[in-house]
Amino acid sequence: MSQPAQQQEVPGTQSAMTPVPDCGEDSYRGTGKLKGRAAVITGGDSGIGRAVAIAFAREGADVLISYLSEDEDARDTARLVEEAGQRAVLVSGDLDTAEQCRKVIDTAVREFGKIDILVSNAAYQMTRTSLEEIPDDEWEYTFKVNISAMFYLAKAAVPHMAPGSSIIGSSSVNSDMPSPALAPYAATKAAIANFSASLAQLLGEKGIRVNSVAPGPIWTPLIPSTMPPEKVESFGKDTPLGRAGQPAELAPVYVLLASDDGSYISGARVAVTGGRPIL
């Protein structure tokens, strides 16, 4: 599947994309691997976050969906979670402050009474062709949303997590193969992989596993809202598989890392890159 040149305003809307990303709405089949668990997913309204929310719900988990302002996309994801027979809780707001991150966790604890899975997935990027073009506040904002939020979320969530719980950070192939046009984003994605590996060692004695997933080029609203149209048109074609991935192709990895099937996987970074290697 390829995509035509297109452009949206940040943060982008999934329903306005051509083609609309496949988040597993019609394909994912659960087998109860997360039955009775409670999950928090940031950036859960669309793209990878939506695919993970659908998969988690169909595996039996209740899901809190944290999102910026994409109300229509978030409501669609909540509907899909509820159609799977699970509870969906929506929390809007920018994760650029510790207060908002703590609000997300506090809401999950109030609604679910616990947190079994934390997926730190929300991210910001913007294409810039030179160092001088990157505004100071954009650099700082990218770090706040992409990596500082993971710190605040994990710090708030861990006291409510029992042995067997899981934290998953969304890293990127850019963590090892940084695109110069995405320098701030790439730096944060390397930090996520590194921080996840540190957390795995810090939290191992609590029985909490921590891993990261490193997607390659995945067709999500982040792409048409942060890249020029000509880059969107060629997005993913330079991978060995010759195409961008779909969010649905990421979801099984998150399920593995969240479930008992991954009970001895901690401190790992799992590549889902269409053949692009990571170090």
Question: Quick count: other Cβ atoms within 10 Å of Cβ 146?
Answer: 28
Output the furthest CA–CA distance in the chain (Å, rounded).
Answer: 51
The tokens 């996520």 sit on which residue?
192
From the candidates 67, 124, 185, 254, give the one annotated as an active-site residue.
185
Q: 183-203 and 149-157 helices cross at what angle (nearest 10)?
A: 20
264 is an active site residue: no
Q: Where are the alpha helices (DSSP H) in 39-135?
A: 47-58, 71-83, 98-112
Q: Are 67 and 94 in contact (CB under 8 A)?
A: no
Three-state DSSP at 20 gives coil
Chain centroid to Cα 160, Å, comes to: 21
Of 49, 57, 62, 127, nearest to 95 (Cα)? 49
Q: Are 15 and 73 in contact (CB under 8 A)?
A: yes
CA–CA gap between residue 218 and residue 256 (Å, rounded): 19
Of 76, 66, 81, nearest to 34 (Cα)? 81
CA–CA gap between residue 215 and residue 177 (Å, rounded): 12
Beta bridge partners of 199: none
CA Rg, the chain, in Å? 17
CA–CA gap between residue 125 and residue 118 (Å, rounded): 22
Q: Which residues are designated catalytic?
A: 185
